[in-house]
């Protein structure tokens, strides 16, 4: 039997992401979070969870709220913590959720928090790996590993790196983050993450293509996927 891909409750391939925000005041940020019905405080864990409901019900993911069984709702989209002074951290389990989170929280936390960098695991996982790690939380800990690549924003638009490491950090430019606070859609971050999603897909299929090869194909063809390309 072939490998079975781990996916989230909302249908995206599981690919853990940790988002780091610069904040001036934790109480100031918490004051805003407490006003959102889609944010739930978990005091025992000193965390907040972001759920797929209320203000976040329209977040564009593979499965809409109405497509999900009632018994699994509300789905937790991410967990937010404050690991140190001046830092807020949001952990999500797919690249799509990371893009959606940047766009959702940018305007809400404008002036209070600025997305500064994103740490991403550049691969997909099979169900047997989750069993070896004793659950999905074990796979989440891949984010605690040593970062072997750091991509300043803009590399993708200029001379691209040949490839990326298994655990990588992507810096978010101040201008893009500030534009996101005004309702911008974080185009450079979204592009960077989607490229890494394409790479993860190809590696899952056993094709060890580099990020550069993917980008060159997009530049030559105008799109990566074409009819009959075999995308699942």
pLDDT in tens, 120-137: 999 999 999 998 888 999
CA distances from 16 to 43, 192, 209 (A): 23, 15, 21
Q: Compute the average pLDDT of residues 34-40.
A: 97
Distance of CA 218 to the CA centre of its chain: 22
**pTM for the model:** 0.89
- 109 touches 21 (CB < 8 A): yes
Q: Residue 150 pLDDT more than 60?
A: no
HSE value, Cβ hemisphere, 13 Å, CA-based, for 162: 1
pLDDT classification of 206: cutoffs 50, 70, 90: very high
The rounded distance, in Å, linking the Cα atoms of 94 and 100 is: 10
The rounded distance, in Å, linking the Cα atoms of 226 and 58 is: 29
Q: What's the mean per-residue pLDDT of the chain?
A: 89
Domain that holds residue 144: 17-221
Q: Classify residue 206: in a domain, yes or no.
A: yes
Q: Classify residue 7: in a domain, yes or no.
A: no
Q: Classify residue 211: in a domain, yes or no.
A: yes
Q: Classify residue 229: in a domain, yes or no.
A: no
Q: Classify residue 93: in a domain, yes or no.
A: yes
Strand order of the β-sheet with 87-92 is: 39-42, 47-51, 76-84, 87-92, 17-23, 113-121, 167-171, 149-151
**The total number of structural domains that make up the chain:** 1
Q: Compute the average pLDDT of residues 72-78.
A: 94
Q: Classify residue 135: in a domain, yes or no.
A: yes
Q: Classify residue 140: in a domain, yes or no.
A: yes
Q: Classify residue 185: in a domain, yes or no.
A: yes
- Whether the upstream peptide bond of residue 69 has omega within 30° of 0, thus cis, is no
pLDDT in tens, 172-202: 999 999 999 898 899 999 999 999 999 999 9
pLDDT of residue 222: 73
């Amino acid at each position: 039997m072939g490998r079975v891909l781990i996916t989230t409750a909302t249908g995206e391939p599981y690919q853990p992401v940790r988002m780091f925000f610069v904040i001036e005041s934790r109480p100031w940020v918490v004051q805003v979070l407490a006003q959102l019905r889609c944010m739930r405080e978990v005091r025992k864990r000193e965390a907040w969870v972001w759920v797929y409901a209320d203000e976040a019900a329209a977040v564009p993911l593979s499965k809409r709220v109405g497509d999900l069984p009632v018994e699994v709702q509300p789905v937790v989209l991410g967990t937010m913590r404050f690991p140190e002074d001046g830092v807020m951290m949001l952990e999500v389990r797919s690249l799509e959720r990371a893009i959606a989170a940047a766009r959702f929280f940018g305007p809400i936390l404008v002036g209070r928090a600025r997305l500064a960098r994103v740490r991403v695991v550049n691969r997909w996982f099979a169900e047997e790996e989750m069993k070896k790690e004793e659950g999905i939380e074990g796979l989440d800990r891949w984010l605690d590993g040593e970062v072997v690549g750091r991509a300043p924003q803009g590399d993708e638009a200029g001379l691209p790196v040949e490839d990326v490491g298994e655990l990588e950090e992507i810096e978010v430019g101040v201008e893009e983050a500030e534009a996101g606070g005004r309702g911008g859609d974080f185009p450079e971050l979204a592009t960077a993450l989607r490229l890494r999603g394409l790479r993860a897909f190809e590696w899952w299929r056993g094709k060890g293509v580099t990020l550069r090869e993917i980008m060159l194909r997009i530049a030559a063809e105008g799109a990566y996927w074409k009819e009959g390309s075999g995308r699942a």
